[in-house]
Chains A and B, each alone.
Chain A
Amino acid sequence: SQKIEQNSEALNIQEGKTATLTCNYTNYSPAYLQWYRQDPGRGPVFLLLIRENEKEKRKERLKVTFDTTLKQSLFHITASQPADSATYLCALRDSFSGGYNKLIFGAGTRLAVHP
């Protein structure tokens, strides 16, 4: 069956350290993968997109890698701050015959950055 898996356990780290979150998928062949941030009581907000032909993408303190062989994406936040505390979700588009796409999300990993 098709699955997107993220670590369901919360990740607790100290301020200033690098947070690394994992997204694994099975039985999908996505052209790209996205990462979103969700704060309590709010809708997810887009952070980064990485395409299948890109190994790594950076945006300020964020870095995403995409390994299509391992079927895995890693999301890194360097020099983490308490304001980075949130739930982070990975998502991919699943293509169907007819060319239509649906956007599928993992369950998300909650990150808590402690001062």
Chain B
Amino acid sequence: DAGITQSPRYKITETGRQVTLMCHQTWSHSYMFWYRQDLGHGLRLIYYSAAADITDKGEVPDGYVVSRSKTENFPLTLESATRSQTSVYFCASSEVGPKNTEAFFGQGTRLTVV
């Protein structure tokens, strides 16, 4: 199916564990983004990628690692999960140009760190 999909939808993990959230898009968009959404903070950018093998930090990158070896995939890894990383995570993709600049979001991953 065309679109952007995140997996898993829900995840419970223990403090100190490594966990990877997956994001896959079928449009071949250049840009992909990871956000976390917490009450009172809205969507905060964790990392973004302008193309395969080009990534950069957003507003809240500490404790997260990303990679983008293929255009369609942009996994987010929490190297050692902490309770403060309990959140809803959204992945998005977009193009950049005169017309195609809207971002398309996945359905989100609700992560609980216990």
Contact = CB atoms under 8 A, between A and B. Distances in A.
Interface in A32-53: 32, 34, 36, 41-46, 49
Contacts of A108: 42-43
A36 B43 CA distance: 12
B31 A89 contact: no
Nearest to B103: A103
A44 B96 contact: no
A10 interface: no
A107 interface: yes
- Interface size for chain B: under 10, 10 to 19, 20 to 34, or 35 or more residues? 20 to 34
Interface string A67-111: 000000000000000000000010101001000111111111000
Interface string B40-59: 11111100101000101011
A103 B48 contact: yes
Interface residues of A, number: 25
Interface of B: 31, 33, 35, 40-45, 48, 50, 54, 56, 58-59, 90, 92, 94, 96, 101-108
19 contacts: A8-B40, A34-B101, A34-B102, A42-B107, A42-B108, A43-B92, A44-B105, A46-B104, A91-B103, A93-B101, A100-B50, A100-B54, A101-B50, A101-B96, A103-B92, A104-B45, A104-B59, A107-B43, A108-B43
Interface of A: 6, 8, 32, 34, 36, 41-46, 49, 89, 91, 93, 96, 100-108
